[in-house]
Amino acid sequence: MEHKIKDHSNAAARFLKDEERATWHDETLWFVRSKRDKAAQQLPEWESLREMASGIKAHTLSHLDKYLLAFEAKAKANGVHVHWATDAEEHNRIVYSILAKHKAKNVVKSKSMLTEECGLNHHLESQGISVVDTDLGEYIVQLRKEQPSHIVLPAIHLKKEDVSNTFHECLQTEKNNFDPAYLTNSARIVLREKFLEADAAITGVNFAVAETGSIVICTNEGNADLGVHSAPLHIACMGIEKLIPKAKHLGIFLRLLARSATGQPITSYSSHFRRPRKGQEMHIVLVDNGRTQQLGRKDFKDSLKCIRCGACLNTCPVYRRSGGHSYHNSVAGPIGAILAPNLDMRKNADLPFASTLCGSCTNVCPVKINIHEQLWSWRQILMKEWYGSPAKKASMKAMAFVLSRPRMYKLSGKIGRKIMQWLPGLVNNRLNPWHKNREMPQAPRQSFNEWYEKNKR
C-alpha cells in the first residue's frame, strides 16, 4: 500500500525505484496524451472552441456573485435544496446533517474530486456511515485505502496484477486471474448490490448552468445515473467555479472535456439533473473552500477556469515519471500544483517546483490556463515568503550573484569545465542529485563565447 510522504522529490524517488513501473506509467499516460492530440486534430474549430471556453469562464468568474445567486434562485424554484459551505469542514457537516436527517446509513458516491479535497469519506465513516465509491477506478483505490492518483484515471498507477491481488484480498476473487473482463464483472456484481441497498447517492458536478439551475455530471460508466435514480436522496457537491452562464455554452465544454481527457468524442453519459424525481429529495452544496481567495489573486484567478480534464497531467514529463501520489494533494499534477498552495502554502510549498516549466501543460489546456507561468509565479511568492528550503534559497542567491557578473560567470564556467575534465568524480557522485539517474555530459573544451571569439570573422 502507498504511504503518504509530504515531499514531492522524496516521494518521486520512491516511485522511481521501480523503474519498470515508472516507464510503464510514463508510456501509458503518453498514449492517452496522443489520443487527445488525434481527437483535437479532427476538429478544425478546436482552437476556436478553446478560445470560446476560456472567454466564457473568464466572464463567469468576473461575475461569479451574480451567476451564483441566479443559479440558487433557479435551483430552488426547481424544488432543489441549496446549501452554502465556506470550507471543507462546513461542507462535511452539511452533508452529514442531511444524511442524519434521513437516517441514511449506506451511501453510494460517484467520482468527485471536491469530496476528496474535503475528506468527506473519512468524515462520514467516522460518523458510522458506509460510503462506497462506485467509479471502478475509485472503488479500486478505496479498497486499497489510497487516494486517487489522477483526476480522471484514479487507478492509473496500478496494473491489472495489482487489481487482481486487491480484489482477491477484498472480494475473494480467483487468485492470479488477471483477466480485465473477469475483474470488472466481479466489481460490478458487488457494486450492483450497493446501489440497490443505498439510502443516498452523492455525486460531484462537472458543470452547473446559472440560466436553468441544473447540473451536468459526466461519466463513462453510468454509475452516477444508477446511484441517483435508485436512491431516495441525491446530494450533489460542487465547487463554486463550476458555473457557466447558459445551457447553450454546454456544447463547447462537453466537446472539449472528453477529447482533452481521454481522446473520446464525448463521455458515455452526460447526465442532466434539474429537479428531484417524484418521491426523491435533491440537495446541492455550493463549496468555496479557498476559491474566493484564489479568485482575488490576480496572477492565479485563471486557475479556477479548470474543468478537471487531466490533460495537463497526461502531458507533464514530471507527473508521468513521478506518479500522482508524489503530489500529496487531492488534485495532482501541474493544475494541482497551482491550486494547492492557495489552500496551504507551507504544506504545499514543494509542488510548484515539481515542474520543468516546459509549458506543455499550458499548450494542451482546453480553457487556456497559463499553468506554467502560474507555477513560476508561485515559486517567486514562496521563496519571498520564506517557504523554500535554506539550501535552495542559498543556491539561488549564489546563482544570482554569479549570473549578474559577466567576469565571474566566465571564470566560474572555466573552473567548472576543468573540474569536470580533470576530477569527474567530484560531480559524478551520489551527492549530486542530477547524477542519480543520468550521466553528466562531457564538458566542452571551451565555452560558446570563447569559440565565437576565435571563429568570428
Q: Give the CATH number for residue 84.
A: 3.40.50.10420
User: Domain boundary at 245, 270, 289, which?
Assistant: 289
Q: Which pLDDT score is estimated for 1?
A: 41
Q: Is residue 195 part of a domain?
A: yes
Q: Is residue 47 part of a domain?
A: yes
Burial readout 59-82 (b: 16 or more C-beta within 10 A, e: otherwise): ebbeebeebbebbbebbeebebeb
Q: What digits encode the pLDDT tens for the residues 386-422?
A: 887 788 888 888 999 999 999 999 999 999 899 888 8
Q: Which pLDDT score is estimated for 434?
A: 76
Q: Is residue 285 part of a domain?
A: yes
Q: What digits encode the pLDDT tens for the residues 349-387?
A: 999 999 999 999 999 999 999 999 999 999 999 988 888
Same domain, 271 and 408: no
pTM of the predicted model as reported, rounded to 2 decimal places:
0.90
User: Domain boundary at 254, 270, 289, which?
Assistant: 289
Same domain, 231 and 88: yes
Q: Is residue 322 part of a domain?
A: no
Q: How far apart (Å, rounded) are the C-alpha atoms in residues 439 and 350?
A: 25
Same domain, 285 and 418: no
Q: Is residue 254 part of a domain?
A: yes
User: Domain boundary at 250, 271, 289, which?
Assistant: 289
- Please state the domain count of the chain: 2
**Taking the chain (457 residues) in consecutive chunks of 10 residues, what is each chunk's mean pLDDT?**
65 92 97 97 97 98 98 98 98 98 97 94 97 97 96 96 98 96 97 97 98 97 95 98 97 97 95 96 98 96 97 98 94 96 92 96 98 96 86 86 94 91 84 76 88 87
Q: Which pLDDT score is estimated for 159?
A: 96
Q: Is residue 120 part of a domain?
A: yes
Q: Is residue 305 part of a domain?
A: no
Same domain, 418 and 278: no
Q: Which pLDDT score is estimated for 395?
A: 86
Which residue segment(s) compose the domain that 271 sits in? Answer: 43-289
Q: Which pLDDT score is estimated for 394?
A: 87
Q: Which pLDDT score is estimated for 169?
A: 97
Same domain, 253 and 128: yes
Q: Is residue 230 part of a domain?
A: yes
Same domain, 254 and 398: no
